[in-house]
Structure 1
Amino acid sequence: MYSMGCPSAWWALLVLLLSGIPGVHLAKCPKQCLCDQIQLTVSCVNKNLTEVPPTIDEITVKLDLRGNEIQTLPTGAFKHTPYLTHLTLQRCNVRTVKEGAFRSLGRLVFLNLANNNIEILYQESFDGLTSLKQLLIDRNRVEEIQPGAFSQLGFLNLLSLTHNQLVYIPNMAFQGLQNIKWLRLTHNSLNYLATEAFAGLFTLTRLSLDHNELQFFPTETMTRLPEVTRLDLGYNPMTYLGEETVSMAKVTHLFMDHMSLQDLANTAVSLSPNLVHLDLSHNQLRVLQPFSAGSLKLARLNLAGNPIYCNCYLRPLREWALRGKVKLLGACGGPAHFSGESLEAIHPSELRCQSQEAMLKAEFEEQMRVTPPPTPEPDNKVKCPANCACEGDTHHSSCENRGHTKVPRGFSPDTRLLDLRGNDFHYIPGNSFPGVAEVVSLHLQRCKIVEMEDGAFNGMKGLVYLYLSENELTSLSPSAFKGLPQLTYLHLEKNRFTTFPKGAFKLLPGLLALHLEHNSISKLEPDILIGAEKLRGLYLTSNSINSVAPRALDQASDLDTLHLGGNKLNEVPTDALGKTLTLGELRLSGNPIRWVGPQAFQPLARVLKDLYLDSMGLEKMSKDSLAGLGPGLRSLYLEGNQLEEVPDLNSFTSLEVINLADNPLLCDCPLLPLRIWIEKVNLKVRATCAHPPELRGQRVKDVHVFKACPGGENLASSPTLAPTKTSKTPKSTKSKPAHLNAPRQVKVVKTKSKGRKSQTPKPAVTKKTAKRSKMA
């Protein structure tokens, strides 16, 4: 029996034995690195490497490259290590991830890119990572996510993008994440979320959006998240939650702490029936009404850190909490005899109000007790006009709903966010905002504005977001936006425009998104976008547009998104699309278009990715109506029409989403091309027969009538999805460990289908997405 006390002898014997076995030899190891040939790991930490070492052994499973100077990850950077499961690249000063940099890493499950300098996530940055489960991109400089960036990460469970520079999430930004469970977007500068920003995330259960710049609850965006149970929104500058604001069927834990909430409707969470824990701690709430009956499951309400005034106005809430056994966390902020007392310790009968005179006196005494006598204003005190609230640490100033009839003046020059919504300005004279050149976001919604004088915003050189929604504007002067060189997002929806404000954008060289939804614009005349040559998104949903001139959009050569839904067009504006050579998304939903003629979308061949033709009453489409769109089109929405047959879709090889629901399809031989196409593609196609009567309600893919048609003899009896393509195992001259030679299991993901009120259907199985440019 061998002695176990001489490990060096054992090692020498093992080396000797291995050297005698053909095809087996000691693994390669870069000279700067530490290699463990038993655990198959390589560590090259803090070695000042400028590229991925090409001599790393092919069978390496874990690779640690932290603390190097690999500024660019080129295409095929890891082609020599196809068996990696864990890759760490923190603090490598990575700036650029080239297309296909990770393409050979089909077995990788963990990738850490934290603490680098990545600014843009390109469409195919993560191409090839088909098994990845965790992706960490924290503490970079990400300011843009291009659509399709995550399209191949179908097995990803965790995506973390904290501490970056995101200000806006575009539609479909996370498309392809079919198994995502937790999305972390904390510590960014998010100010706006597109309605479909999280569309397709049907498995997401936790979303972290705390420490951002969201000023209102994104109700429409959140309704697209049917499985989220925990939502973190703390440390956002929201001041009010309106009626039925939170509509999330499965959310159980909602965190809205450390915000600026001053009031919320008692029905704010009534459409979230499973809510158990609501955290409203550290806001500015003084009085809170009992929540409506829709919140019967609520068991814990955190009000700590609010200036709750414990008098008769709090009694209904305290009684409601006792009846529903809801635990109230927090303490009274007044009056004096209750100050600091736990809310749970006070019986409702103790919550009384004195006479009005006594109550006012008590409040005055309380204020004098808590607030020290006035002292000379220190130099560093935040400047703030009367009847407004200003915060120095966040650089936010708010005069929301304060009844102002003139724009207040005297804000701190460091103000970044200025909220003036809900006042009665009517008229905005020139130079209304002196001394606030650093304001990034200006809110003037619901201010009854009828007219703006030339140069009203003069001097606001840092303004990026301007919200003029829900006012009474009918026209704009050509010099209305003078002095706004950085303005990027302009909101003019829900005003009273009857004609497009042509010429008003000549002084906005940086304008990317123009919102004019819900006005009464009747037509689009030639050259309406003069001065807006860089425009990427034009939103004209729900106007009264009945014609689009052939040269209407000529100046917007970079236009990527055009929304014309809910208007009065009776034909596709083909001629007007001739110069929109980068248009990726076109929405014509809800227009009374009954016929789509041949070559209707030919100007958009090879560039259009998403086409919405739903809910139009469409009766017929020419067989060449979609000519030219085939290879590049990613989604096609035709639901809610009157189509009995559809054009041949055989050339549509990149489709990820198609919806033909609620059409009276005639399941007979003219529909055979659709039936054959459905069998060939790896997609869930929502198409049912309406005729003949005996087939009504059956799925097109399941009926057998097509077998009797010429060319239908070889149709499968039970159609199935096309076989999944798997990557080939790289060739190697070495013997591989047993676990690497084992056959790889491919998980088949079934997409759940649940009804929801939205014009955007759920994406089905995601394929490789064609590259496109999208508004950041």
Structure 2
Amino acid sequence: MDFQKCLLFFCTLVVLHAVLSFKASVSGNKCKETLANISFSCMRLNLHSIPPEIPSSAEKLDFSFNDLGTLHRNSFPSLPYLTFLDLTRCGIILIADDAFQNVSNLTILILTGNPIKQLEKKSFRSLHNLQKLTIVDTGLSALEKLPISHLTQLQELKAGKNIISSLKVPLYVFNLTSLRLLDLHSNNISSISLRDTTVLRKMDLTNLTLILTQNHISYVQSGAFDGVILKELHLRSAFDFPYAKNCCLKAMAGLKVDKLVLGNYRNTKLVTTSGSGPLDGLCMIEFQEIHITDIDDLSGHYPNARDIFHCLVNATVIKLLNCLLTDLKVPIFPKLKMLDLSYNNFENLPAAELSNQNTLETLRITDNWFLTSFNSRFLNMSSLKNLDISYNHITMRQCCIPQFSGADQLIILNMSYNLEIRFEGLAFDGIENLEILDLRYTKIGGFGDYPLLKNLKKLSYLDISYASTYFTSENALEGPANLKVLKAPGNLFHRGIVYFMHNPELELLDISHCQFDHLPQGTFKGLRNLQHLDVSHNKLTTIDFVTSPSLNTLTLIDLSNNNVPGIPQSVLDHLPKKMIVFDISQNPFECTCDYLSFFKWATEHKAILKNPNELLCKSPLSLTNTRVIDSDICKAKTLFIGVTIGILIILSAIAASIYKYQFHLLYCWILMKGYRSTQLQECKFDAFVVYSSLDEHWVMNELVENLENGVPPIELCLHNRDFQPGQLITSNILEEGIMSSRKVIIVLSKNFIASRWCKFEFDMARSWQFLEGTPGIIVIVLEDIKEEEIKHVFRLHKYLKKNTYLKWKDNALSSMRFWTRLRKAVLSGKR
């Protein structure tokens, strides 16, 4: 019967576990609601259909990385408002007619990574509003196989990473009047013929971007692009080798394109061949903007650096990025507006080489690792407005005359992230039109000592973040009276000086990380338009300065990461009225009643506090890391915490006492079960031996051998031999050991003193001796023990002071005397 009950119980547990596992599995496969009733994500849930819990109000659904197999007309529930659907890598093999009839308002459909074998003629018939179709990596072999002729709203068709072998554009493209992007990157297009581009040559494609990057084009039939007009044409890594590139570009004669993108990807290595330069074919193409990236063979093909540009002279924008250029010789570009020579190997800034480009408006020469000097001048560059020479390793000992004397219309100057620039005198004389100056993370010298910016009356934006500058003069920022943005974190300001009185139009001021420990009210005097003030990561202990009438226009104040203990009521009453964001997080707040008004204010103004959960108490210790915005932090919480701590202290004391006296409590509990005197029962043993298991060798080989095998034999009780299995150890010690024996033998050693059980057994024996009223404990000192060690066992130390004990010595004479005395002590009183 018991076996049947156990079997039934086991089966019940198995069934319950299975049910719970199933529920956990189902709940684990639930789609996430990323935006209430609007956006849902079912990604990677191993689903085979659209879950019915997706509401009809859904507008966006990410169903990628699931398993659908076939899309038929009932694959989707009715989702009339759905506009975005991602079916990436869902194992779709077949898309049947009208598969999307229940999601007919889609504008974006993503089918990337599906091994589509069949598209029926009416697969996309319902998608009249579709604007973006992504069918990348689906095994598509030709654009003609896409049944999309009716998608008149289609703007983007992305069909990269397929096996399309021809650029042949189907006739249905005539219907796609809204098409703006045709992406065929990473296909197998190797040749382009006249027949392939028939449609392109007959259409108005002035708004179309055609991407053919990472194909394997080796042949273009002459005239294939004659008359074709494109917005952009991307041909990065589209040719197998430079010779093919040149030939194919020449064959594209007659092509007109606003932006042409050429070059390689950094992991693409092309075989260099002899012959004409790889850019010579560009002379046959009409373009406005050209981007050439990662071509590292230009210097080898063009020993005369000027020849690199001979087919680019009519461009308005030229970008030669990461082409390993080391020097520069350029012709005069009659139309050039923008030139970008970033990521090359220049050692000197080619200012002289670029002089006389009087149409150039923007020049970028950034991220040149070897570019360390700027010694030449920009001459006759009257149109240059934007100069970016950031992220180089430039060191300038004297700036900025005469370097910029020929660029007097300069508006934007970016020299950030360089090594060191030193300014002297009227450093910006000749470029008084400067409006934006960026010097961040560049060590600048002489900037804080005198008014270097005095002649920059139009300057509106200045960034000197972490420029290792020490401001010592109150006139250091004199000049740009119309300055609106000043970013100066990570610099040092001499204490007690007002620096911003010359910049009354400031709207944003960042002086974080500047080691301020005090800011007097007059610091911001006259800043009538200041809206954003960042003084975070300083050492401020008070924020009285925010009550200055000059700061009434502030909408954002960042005081985070300072040493502010709290905000008094006098400051709270005068905070700027227009403040929208107030960040005072990460300060060591003192959560005492002195700042009770601040706690209430913070609770009432959580809407404007940034990171309110990071307003944490630092002191007192009882409230460490408690949130300031929690109400009644001064009263109720203090009382609650005090009571709680008191209870915890009491409970801890009780727990410690129980742990310390656990054996004694167990002993009392056993005694309460009932008392049986040894005088009323017959003892089974002559002596119960209390010893450490580490001394078992001596007990068995010496004590047991001499007492139990002697004459007369003495019956010993040993815990490892005579205790009853299945009972509590404490019960065995008392009932089977002490209560069933006339005497108790204590084998005292260092191991005994280290054993809690041994000390417990001794205490029980002492208590039993007291109840019996007869001497029954015999102590054997097995080895020399220091008195300091015995003192740790208070009762034992006291007992040895008042009672005689035996001491074991391992020699023949002493051993004989020892066993005689021990046998006599054990047998005394035996009837």
Place the TM-score, normalised by the shorter chain, in its bin: 0.3 to 0.5
TM-score, normalised via structure 2 length: 0.40
Instruction: Select the structure of larger CA radius of gyration.
Output: 2
Q: Larger helix proportion, structure 1 or 2? A: 2
TM-score, normalised via structure 1 length: 0.43
